[in-house]
Structure 1
């Protein structure tokens, strides 16, 4: 049953990909009809995930992958109405269409998502002032070999290997401490640590224990550590394979996450540090609904607030859908509340920032002080709302 589930899942998704490639090479009039088939095949693949045992993280990542793929290709075909760049003598472009299927950040296009960091390291330049030395260099295999290993291609592959190896080492160390060292010292988590009454913190501050506080602080670190490790390791492996085979260039695989030092606010945490895989499609949907259904001007304050609300609400619904497909129905609504609380947090910090600027007449805090306040605020935000979404899943499914 497991083998059959894998075969069906891959077959359905391959069918969706084939239809998407055809749609990208088709006229706009035929794209909506093809999109129905694309989404239908993707949904059939999505339904097979419960019959395939990839483990919780593996299944959840693949479920999210399919959802992101569907949202991206729908945006490409019917909202952005993206047309493949023409190529002389080619009537059907397989390669470019395939690449666009898995380019949710719209890399290399005029619609590229903002705050995508990363530059390609260039190979060391040669002294080209002398024809003699250029010819000597070309005849010297040792120098050609040395320069090859200093090329952007080799540097990129080396960095991806080091990144992946570092993640494996960190994950191994964490597992050793969590499963071996901590239990020997009587430090281990139990079901009572995730009781529904412990989801709130500040309302019962007088009854909170040091253990509860430590577990919440650990949860924040674990959330960041596990998410980054899983997504970056998958990104590293795929980047290594596609660049090593010559299918892609190093510039096609910029870092998945931004600089965590930019996470000085909730808005920056999600906008500059977190991956931008859904930014373009979710924002486009929000803009379309705001403009065509709610008739809100895009530049208006209400319109901007609605678009932000829609993006966070849709993110929560998508995570809930992925978790429910894996069979974790209890506590799945916590994913929606997590993102709704995030939206409220963004609104609070924007309001507080505007009020502070108005009261102090534009006074700017010291940069270091401002960053420390921002980091503390983001940590406390995760410290407060993460248990509301994570505790129910642990408690109900134990």
Structure 2
């Protein structure tokens, strides 16, 4: 971890903390007022975001914490912009009604023969609107709303949320006086009235998981392990030269098929090149996975312990790594989707401005490129805020390329999968998909493909940047 105690003081953190507090207050207050003119809040929120982001370097003495803080500011503003600028007032008020109705149906809530408009008005008074604001704004996955990112339901907890079920069952709200409790689907009523999951067990599980993530980070950042290289020779600038010694054509075959078994030096260099590339693959995954998930666990524990949230409202931030057997599934089924809803909406708006309809053949991949481009821009902004000297010297555009290149990986695997399926059915017939050994073999090939793809992307992005810094 990068510490900067010599250039950090506690008073300097006041500016980003105050700006962030004002950003949160202004947006939460705007959403808490039914039928308010929310778009006027956007310029104010943007100003607080800029102030907080420009001072993110002073938030703490740890650059990793500062990086997460800067990304939080950008992600929160993006999601707020989606809610304030792209969700219409009737849509938001419909969602408020859904939430209030769902809240009244919970054990201990208001259970009457009917839920009328007066009850909605009564329930919306006081702190309820602020809780609703919290549920909407500090929820970039839009979990439990009509804008929910669909894949979150399969990551655990999604199916147990009343708000999610009700939002999916009733997309268009009718007047509250027409919504009788008996008219709700029986599965929703049963799910609502059953005994909720144990908060104590949820908190204990999250505490144990948090401890495991802490141990993983301690092991990962151990100096001897993190910088270990064969024969104790530390990494140097020459390791990042991408010349004629292509890793995939020389070093990898050397290890896999023993082409350099008689040359000790070549074998050592091949091991060194492989370890270095695996290191950079882990750099792309492990710190974010463990750190962001740890913060997510802490917030989940606080939300559930204070009874503001239910355990079912806190599914895991990341999916299972076992699902990452294609590049597309790596990003959609394993990686977090915190920016997907807002960036996807922005992308669709850009496509609409360009006149590219959703039915156009290139629409899907253009949409993907724009989403990853926006994500890359966000990740490039962060080092410009925290380490501007490095970006001035070597540029930080490798962050943009790292994300945009993912779409080309999806294109390649999409073409290969199309041909593979045709050949598969022609050679083996349609029943081959049920053969477990065959499916396992395809999974293993998929994992190898994703690993090699991440290695290649690291070579094209991190290696030139690191070589420049070492020069």
Normalised by the shorter chain, which TM-score bucket? 0.7 to 0.9
Measured in 2, the distance between the counterparts of 1:192 and 1:118 equals 45
Other-structure match for 2:397: 333
* Mapped pair 1:234 → 2:243: no
Measured in 1, the distance between the counterparts of 2:379 and 2:227 equals 33
Q: Counterparts in 2 of 1:277-296, with a 5 A limit?
A: 277-291=338-352, 293-296=353-356
Measured in 1, the distance between the counterparts of 2:272 and 2:141 equals 41
1:37 corresponds, among 20, 44, 48, to 44
Q: Which moved more, 1:19-28 or 1:366-375?
A: 19-28
Contact 1:53 1:59 in 2 (8 A): yes
TM-score by length of 1: 0.84
Q: Counterparts in 2 of 1:164-203, with a 5 A limit?
A: 164-176=210-222, 178=224, 182=228, 186=232, 188-195=234-241, 201-202=247-248
Cα distance 1:159–1:393, how it changes in 2: closer, same or farther (>3 A)? farther
Contact 1:331 1:396 in 2 (8 A): no
Cα distance 1:371–1:159, how it changes in 2: closer, same or farther (>3 A)? same
Other-structure match for 1:243: 304
What value does the CA root-mean-square deviation take over the aligned residues? 2.9
- The secondary structure found in structure 1 opposite 2:149 is coil
Q: Counterparts in 2 of 1:261-340, with a 5 A limit?
A: 261-291=322-352, 293-327=353-387, 328-329=390-391, 330-340=394-404
Unaligned runs of 5+ in 1: 123-149
- The secondary structure found in structure 2 opposite 1:166 is helix
Q: Counterparts in 2 of 1:202-213, with a 5 A limit?
A: 202=248, 209-213=270-274
Q: CA deviation at 1:181?
A: 9.6
Cα distance 1:198–1:60, how it changes in 2: closer, same or farther (>3 A)? farther
Unaligned runs of 5+ in 2: 1-7, 98-119, 161-195, 255-265
After superposition, the C-alpha distances for 1:166-188 in whole angstroms (9 at most, x for unaligned) are 12222223344635994896254
Other-structure match for 2:406: 342
Contact 2:207 2:297 in 1 (8 A): yes
Cα distance 1:120–1:347, how it changes in 2: closer, same or farther (>3 A)? closer
TM-score by length of 2: 0.71
Other-structure match for 2:279: 218
Other-structure match for 2:451: 379
Measured in 2, the distance between the counterparts of 1:357 and 1:151 equals 43
After superposition, the C-alpha distances for 1:4-60 in whole angstroms (9 at most, x for unaligned) are 331111111111122212332457783222111111111111111123334221111
Other-structure match for 2:200: 154
After superposition, the C-alpha distances for 1:259-294 in whole angstroms (9 at most, x for unaligned) are 111111000000011011111111111111112x11
Q: Which moved more, 1:59-68 or 1:222-231?
A: 222-231
Q: CA deviation at 1:396?
A: 4.0
Q: Counterparts in 2 of 1:250-265, with a 5 A limit?
A: 250-265=311-326
Other-structure match for 1:127: none
Cα distance 1:394–1:44, how it changes in 2: closer, same or farther (>3 A)? same
Q: CA deviation at 1:223?
A: 3.0
Choose between structure 1 and 2 for higher RCO, CA contacts under 8 A separated by at least 6 residues.
Answer: 1
Q: CA deviation at 1:197?
A: 5.0
Q: Counterparts in 2 of 1:349-368, with a 5 A limit?
A: 349-361=413-425, 364=432, 366-368=438-440
Cα distance 1:358–1:99, how it changes in 2: closer, same or farther (>3 A)? same
Contact 2:17 2:59 in 1 (8 A): no
